[in-house]
């Protein structure tokens, strides 16, 4: 009975909200650009019984091809054709109905920003830093609470309430990241999440065209990208195709029932990626995977609906062109409709050839990961057009190398075997390599707060093929496990005015924290100037006695990496690496700057990654 009354209350609230829709509530995209690769544009128009209106527009080079009416009379979808020679300018879209006052929307067509290197792409030359804006720094306390928004929580002592971190807080610390050696910033979504609870994380969007006002504004986001570019930092936007927030404006007044996947009763996704690739899979499992809701508060978008497909694709193109974003991280990639995602990626690549995209695929094997990447047309029957993924199998292999016991397929042998399967990818250098993120236990805790293992793991991360990514605070030894209290999303100390210590500066850090920071800084900044580590080839050797050796090299530079997973130091004889050592006679340790005069033997400490630049 209680559930019935709650449902009735929800229905009444929904009807009230629908009754209060203005005659012309919104047009999306709000504006567009001339000269885009795809001349077709579909506008979503929302307003009270807007389907009763006739639509007219007049602008040279713009043709209103079709007015689409759908199930809900509060929507129209307008198909426009924009000629390639159309000039920037504005025009009125006029909505007329007998007995009603005409409605006008002044639509702008802007000039594309064709500045060179504006949208650069994120590549294996980069080092990515992942930030949860709500937990990084509170740069503008005036937006901590915004009147009218559902979640008015503000409690830094609760992991499930908002803490007040924002876009200005990230901007305030760009020089810190630049000094650390970071070259690209990935923030979890900053799109509006006007949800009743836990709205801080950003993955339950309620307005896809609006930065959450508790983070800032659209204009500030564009300024953030510009400031990053001025400092030589790239920007990655986190986007979610699969689902939206249940309390968003569009869920209160769906254009049509098929905008989201509908079930006779609530059905969760099975959270499995295997049904898509399993030759023995049932169609029921495939449907559950793709059409089930991620959680009850995140409705699953129906990407087979052509209106949804246009809406999402245009939204992402809009943000990239508007702000000049360099790359996209695609949340929950395996749960999306595969054909839609392939078409989406193709459309974005056509418009932005240098844009980088990588999909989140938290899977357990290399074949599962490679299945989702581009070039696997034999397995899929089509090309996914997805250049890279978040390399979860490499993460697991690195942890096995750090924490496992040496064995035929264990310890560092797992890392070796994982890399040996790179033949399954079209280009493994486009994978994002990481040790942790906002959804899992922090790296320092996962290695038992063992500082030697900490440096060992980061040494592997920053010399490995692919694009290295580090979660905020790893450089100052932030720790904790994901369960049960979510402390992996603690605030960065110093990001709030009342913090007892400011770890953005050396004097606020402990001696060990400074040692960790300087280790990351030294390695990251060396990498920025190392063509071998950025884009060089990788050659690895079969591990022996718990010691794993690989080389990153090109015609100008060779870097030798020795991973000793043992609890004791080792003296490594290098004769069997002569194929790569070749005519090199000495080396320099890039961390300690120690000179190695004789390369016939190399001394490697216990639980260490020794990184040597070879010299003649």
pLDDT tens figures, 272-304: 999 999 999 999 999 999 999 999 999 999 999
User: Out of 273, 326, 360, 490, which one is annotated catalytic?
Assistant: 360
Strand pairing report for 467-471 and 128-131: parallel
Percent of the chain's residues with pLDDT above 90? 94
Q: Is the pLDDT of residue 111 over 50?
A: yes
C-alpha distances (whole Å) from 81 to each of 25, 68, 360, 362 are: 23, 14, 34, 40
Q: What is the pLDDT of residue 101?
A: 96
User: What is the Cα–Cα distance from 373 to 359, expressed in whole angstroms?
Assistant: 9
Q: What are phi and psi of 519, to 5 degrees?
A: -65, -50
Is the per-residue pLDDT at 36 higher than 90?
Answer: yes
Which domains does the chain carry?
A: 20-110 (2.60.40.10), 127-236+435-529 (3.20.20.80), 534-615 (2.60.40.1180)
Sign of CA dihedral 175, 180, 183, 188: negative
State the pLDDT at residue 2.
31
Could you tell me the CA-to-CA distances from 611 to 204, 325, 370, 401, 495 in Å, in that order? 42, 33, 29, 16, 33
Burial 248-260 (b: 16+ CB within 10 A, else e): bbbebbbbeeebb
What confidence category does residue 485 fall into, taking pLDDT thresholds of 50, 70 and 90?
A: confident
Q: Which residues contact 381 (CB under 8 A, 6 or more apart)?
A: none
Dihedral of alpha carbons 5, 9, 14, 20, sign: positive
pLDDT at residue 5 in the model: 28
Residues 177-203, mean pLDDT to the nearest whole number: 96
Q: Is the pLDDT of residue 321 over 90?
A: yes
Q: Estimate to the nearest angstrom the gap between the alpha carbon of 130 and the chain centroid.
A: 8
Least confident of 316-320, 322-326, 384-388, 406-410: 406-410
Average pLDDT, rounded, for the chain = 95
Long-range Cβ contacts of 522-528 (<8 Å, 24+ apart): 522/590, 522/591, 523/181, 523/458, 523/459, 523/462, 523/590, 523/591, 523/611, 524/127, 524/180, 524/181, 524/182, 524/462, 525/181, 526/590, 527/127, 527/181, 527/462, 527/463, 527/468, 528/127, 528/181, 528/183
Query: What is the rounded end-to-end Cα distance, in angstroms, of the chain?
Result: 81
Spatial CA neighbour of 357 closest among 464, 275, 434, 467? 467
Is the entire prediction scored with pTM above 0.75?
yes
Q: Please name the residue ranges forming H helices in 352-411.
A: 366-371, 377-380, 392-403
Written as six digits, the tokens of 237 are: 């936007």
Mapping DSSP to helix (H, G, I), strand (E, B) and coil, where does residue 513 land? helix
Residue 405: the pLDDT is 94
Q: Please, what is the Cα angle at 53 between 52 and 56, to 5 degrees?
A: 155
Dihedral pair phi/psi, residue 67, rounded to 5°: -110, 115
DSSP state of 260: B
**Element containing residue 69 per DSSP (H, E):** strand 62-69
Helix (H) or strand (E) holding 6: helix 2-19
- Does the pLDDT at position 594 exceed 60? yes
Token digits of residue 177:
């990241």
Average pLDDT rounded to a whole number, residues 590-610: 96
Read off the pLDDT of residues 123-162 as tens digits, 9 standing for 90 and up: 999 999 999 999 999 999 999 999 999 999 999 999 999 9
pLDDT at 448 over 70: yes
Max Cα distance, the chain (Å): 93
Residue with tokens 């508007």, as numbered in its chain: 322
Asked if residues 202 and 212 have their Cβ atoms less than 8 Å apart, the reply is yes
Say if CB 393 and CB 418 are below 8 A apart: yes
CA distance 376 to 367: 11
The number of residues making up the chain comes to 616
Quote the pLDDT of residue 483. Answer: 85
Contact 184, 140 (CB under 8 A): no
Residue 395 pLDDT more than 90?
A: yes
pLDDT of amino acid 404: 97
Residue 564 in this model has a pLDDT that exceeds 90: yes
Average pLDDT of the residues in 162-167: 98
User: Residue 38 is encoded by which pair of tokens?
Assistant: 């795809």
Picking from 523, 525, 537, the residue whose alpha carbon sits closest to that of residue 459 is: 523
DSSP category for residue 300:
B
CA distance 283 to 443: 38
Which tokens in the block code for residue 205?
């969007």
* Tokens found for residue 373: 């990447």
At 12, is the pLDDT very low, low, confident or very high (cuts 50, 70, 90)? very low
pLDDT at 420 over 90: yes
Mean pLDDT across 178-191? 98
- C-alpha–C-alpha distance, residues 184 and 256, integer Å: 39
Coil, helix or strand at residue 122: coil
pLDDT of residue 552: 98
Give the helix/strand (H/E) hosting 252. Answer: helix 249-252
Catalytic, out of 331, 368, 456, 534: 331
Predicted local distance difference test score (pLDDT) of residue 207:
98
Higher-scoring residue by pLDDT: 556, 17: 556
Contacts of 374 (CB under 8 A, 6+ apart): 383, 384, 385, 386, 387, 426
Does 360 qualify as catalytic in the annotation?
A: yes
What pLDDT is attached to residue 387?
A: 97
pLDDT (0 to 100) of residue 28: 98
Report the C-alpha gap between 518 and 523 in whole angstroms.
Answer: 8
The token duo for 308 is 């949804």
Residue with tokens 């199930």: 71
The CA distances from residue 554 to 150, 255, 534, 542, 560, in Å, are 55, 55, 10, 21, 12
- What's the pLDDT score for residue 376? 87
Cis peptide before 29 (omega within 30 of 0): yes
pLDDT above 50: residue 416: yes
**Distance, CA of 186 to CA of 198 (rounded, Å):** 20
% of the chain at pLDDT higher than 70: 97
Tell me the per-residue pLDDT of 509-524, one tens digit each, with 9 for 90 and over.
Answer: 999 999 999 999 999 9
406: exposed, middle or buried (C-beta count within 10 Å: 0-12, 13-18, 19+)?
A: middle
In tens, the pLDDT along 336-392 reads: 999 999 999 999 999 999 999 999 999 999 999 999 999 988 888 899 999 999 999
Gap between the Cα atoms of 490 and 477, Å rounded: 12
Q: Residue 533: pLDDT above 80?
A: yes
Quick check: 9 pLDDT over 80? no
Q: What is the pLDDT of residue 6?
A: 33
Location of structure tokens 């953005």: 504
- How many angstroms separate the CA atoms of 352 and 347, rounded? 9
Q: What is the pLDDT of residue 1?
A: 29
Q: What distance in Å separates the CA atoms of residue 99 and residue 364, rounded to the nearest whole number?
A: 63
pLDDT tens, position by position, 567-589: 999 999 999 999 999 999 999 99
């Amino acid at each position: 009975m209680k559930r019935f009354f709650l449902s009735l209350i929800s229905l009444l609230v929904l009807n009230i909200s629908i009754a209060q829709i203005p005659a012309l509530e919104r047009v999306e995209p709000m504006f567009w650009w001339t000269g885009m690769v795809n001349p077709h544009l579909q506008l979503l128009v929302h307003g009270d019984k807007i389907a009763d209106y006739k639509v007219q527009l007049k602008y040279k080079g713009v043709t209103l091809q079709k007015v689409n009416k759908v199930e809900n009379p509060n929507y129209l979808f307008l198909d426009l054709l924009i000629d390639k020679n159309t000039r920037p300018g504005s025009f009125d879209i006029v909505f007329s109905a007998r007995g009603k006052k005409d409605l006008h929307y002044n639509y702008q067509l802007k000039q594309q920003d064709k500045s060179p290197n504006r949208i650069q792409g994120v590549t294996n030359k980069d080092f990515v830093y992942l930030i949860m804006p709500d937990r990084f720094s509170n740069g503008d306390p005036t937006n901590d609470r915004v009147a009218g928004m559902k979640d008015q929580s503000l409690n830094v002592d609760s992991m499930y309430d908002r803490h007040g971190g924002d876009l200005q807080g990230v901007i305030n610390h760009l020089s810190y990241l630049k000094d650390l050696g970071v070259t690209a910033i990935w923030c979890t979504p900053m799109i509006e999440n006007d949800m009743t609870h836990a709205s801080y994380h950003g993955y339950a969007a309620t307005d896809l065209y609006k930065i959450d006002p508790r983070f800032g504004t659209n204009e500030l986001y564009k300024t953030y990208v510009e400031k990053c570019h001025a400092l030589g930092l790239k920007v990655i936007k986190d986007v979610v195709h699969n689902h939206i927030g249940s309390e968003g404006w569009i869920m209160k007044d769906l254009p049509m029932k098929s905008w989201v996947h509908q079930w006779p009763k609530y059905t969760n996704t099975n959270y499995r990626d295997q049904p898509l690739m399993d030759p023995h899979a049932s169609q029921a499992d495939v449907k559950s995977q793709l059409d089930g809701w991620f959680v009850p508060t995140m409705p699953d978008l129906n990407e087979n609906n052509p209106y949804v497909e246009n809406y999402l694709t245009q939204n992402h193109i809009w943000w990239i062109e508007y702000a000049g974003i360099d790359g996209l991280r695609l949340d929950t990639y395996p749960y999306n409709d595969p054909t839609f995602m392939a078409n989406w990626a193709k459309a974005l690549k056509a418009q932005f050839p240098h844009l980088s995209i990588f999909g989140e695929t938290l899977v357990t094997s290399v074949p599962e990961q490679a299945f989702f990447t581009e070039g696997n047309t034999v397995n899929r029957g089509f090309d996914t057009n997805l250049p890279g993924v978040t390399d979860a199998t490499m993460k697991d292999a690195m942890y096995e190398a750090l924490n496992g016991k040496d064995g035929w397929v264990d310890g560092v042998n797992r890392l070796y075997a994982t890399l040996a399967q790179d033949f399954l990818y079209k280009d493994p250098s486009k994978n994002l390599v990481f040790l942790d993120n906002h959804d899992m236990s922090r790296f320092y805790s996962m290695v038992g707060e063992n500082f030697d293992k900490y440096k060992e793991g980061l040494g592997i991360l920053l010399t490995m093929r692919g694009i290295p990514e580090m979660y905020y605070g790893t450089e100052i030894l932030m720790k904790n496990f994901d369960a049960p209290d979510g402390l992996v999303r603690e605030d960065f100390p110093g990001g709030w005015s009342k913090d007892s210590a400011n770890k953005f500066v050396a004097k606020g850090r402990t001696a060990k924290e400074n040692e960790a920071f300087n280790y990351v800084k030294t390695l990251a900044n060396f990498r920025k100037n190392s063509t071998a580590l950025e884009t060089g080839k990788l050659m690895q050797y079969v591990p022996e006695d718990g010691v794993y050796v690989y080389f990153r090299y090109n015609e100008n530079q060779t870097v030798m990496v020795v991973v000793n997973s043992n609890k004791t130091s080792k003296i490594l004889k290098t004769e069997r690496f002569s194929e790569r050592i070749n005519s090199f006679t000495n080396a320099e340790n890039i961390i300690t700057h120690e000179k190695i005069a004789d390369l016939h033997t190399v001394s490697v400490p216990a639980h260490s990654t020794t990184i040597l630049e070879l010299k003649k």
